[in-house]
Amino acid sequence: MKVLVWATTFGADLWSFARFLDARDDVDLRVVLDDPEGFRRQKVAELFPLRAPLLRRGRLRTYLGPLCVPGFVPDVVVLDNWVPKVAPARRGLVLWHGFGWKGPNDRAEFAPLHRALRRAFGDPCRPNPRFRWHCFGPSDFEHRTQVSGFAPENCRLVGAVSHDDLRVPLDRARLAGAYPFDVVRRKTVLFAPTWHYGEVFAHWGEDARIFDRLLGRIAQHGANAIVRFHDRHRYPPSYLRMLRDLARRHRHVVFKFKDEAPDNFLDLQVADVLLTNFSSIANLFYATLRPTIHVYPVRSEDEAFVWRVRTRAGVETRVLPSVRYVWKFPPERNGGLLARSEDQMIDQLDQALEDPACCRDKALAFLDEHMLGADGKAGERALSVLRELVSGETSPRH
């Protein structure tokens, strides 16, 4: 079977599935991504090298369809959240780029995606043997079919393929040189905020002051901090200057931006605690069973707040009347701790660093309910979906 992975961001489930396919002798794999050389420079590429060729996407390749890789006509293409202008294969599987709380991902929001998928593979909203949509679990299946509008016949329960890797701890001694601090003898806190809500702590005060307090508290525990932001160009120069100032004043801290350091697998493996304002990265980290602190991202769910959206014209800032409009399900449904104030966040940080098992039961319960228990078999299930597409034989949805 010839498989083409078409990556917007080559990480998380898409990277794990590519690794899974790459190890098989019955799969001929190619990976198309924005910056192959940049990916090869990352430590994760050194630790887990791929046999498959990595190809630069470029503008022209998006229009070449099945000719986009000379001498290689794929049976099926695996995508995340962006569809090429001309489909590289007649059949396609979407591995969505994350399972999170944000939405609504309804028919109106997904209308452009529906059109792109219809152009590439046929109508995704009607039974279609050429198209499949991956679902993380039962609640995701329900949302994608009843809210997003995909035909149930096109959706398959797979789980998170990245859980297959994250549930297996990585020997941190192998990460020598990947970080500017000791990740073997010192604990590490990973802070990965989503960018949609504007400044991370705007609902509690000034980011500069709260970041300073948070990093100081992490240092008091003798721990490191990794702070992962979205693409650097999405932040104003004044905010970037503030972060540079924090980096100068705090040791054992590294700031990362997605466009410069897209891989988060090693960060997730090395982290003893995750702190996030409901980025979908939390649902990946749950598989480690280590503590996750969820920062409630607004003062009140019934209060107006700033929401940022990436459009073709750039970043658009909107004021929404209530966070209810953008949550698929309430933030109280999570696999860890929930901080509704600055002081509560600091107290929970202390708890998480002092009691590594404090969130284990909640993480397991969330995984069991929403993500097929992170059972280590998601790669096999995703592969079965590809075989179904290629053979044309329909398998059960559940």
Residue 60 is part of a domain; what is its CATH number? 3.40.50.2000
| Whether residue 333 is found in the same domain as residue 380 | no
Same domain, 141 and 228: no
Q: 101-151: per-residue pLDDT in tens?
A: 887 889 998 999 999 999 999 999 999 999 999 999 999 999 999 999 999
Six-digit token string for 31: 């990976």
Q: What is the pLDDT of residue 300?
A: 63
Q: Is residue 396 part of a domain?
A: no
250 in the same domain as 103: no
Asked if the structure places residue 241 within a domain, the reply is yes
Centre a 10 Å sphere on the Cβ of residue 304 and count the other Cβ atoms it contains. Answer: 13
Same domain, 160 and 188: no
Kindly state whether residues 320 and 385 are assigned to the same domain: no
232 and 110 housed in the same domain: no
| pLDDT value, residue 302 | 59
Confidence of residue 327 (pLDDT cuts 50, 70, 90): confident
In this structure, the answer to whether residues 118 and 150 fall within a common structural domain is: yes
Position 314 scores a pLDDT of: 63
**298 part of a folded domain:** yes
171 domain residue, yes or no: no
* Structure confidence by residue, pLDDT tens digits, 73-89: 999 999 998 999 999 99
**Domain identity same for 331 and 195:** yes
Question: Is residue 82 classed exposed, middle or buried when 0-12, 13-18 and 19+ CB atoms within 10 A define those classes?
Answer: middle
Residue 174 domain flag: no
Per-residue pLDDT, 240: 93
User: Bridge-partner residues for 328, per DSSP?
Assistant: none
Residues 197, 94 share a domain: no
CA distance linking residue 329 with residue 73, whole number of Å:
41
Separation CA 133–CA 157 (nearest Å): 9
Please tell me the total count of domains within the chain.
2
Mean pLDDT, residues 283-299: 93
Answer yes or no: do 144 and 185 share one domain. no
- 344 & 196 share domain: yes
Q: How far apart are the C-alpha atoms of 351 and 366, rounded to whole Å?
A: 20
Check whether residue 199 and residue 127 sit in a common domain.
no
Q: Give the pLDDT of residue 345.
A: 98
* pTM check: above 0.85: yes
Confidence of residue 253 (pLDDT cuts 50, 70, 90): very high
- Domain span at residue 304 reads 181-369
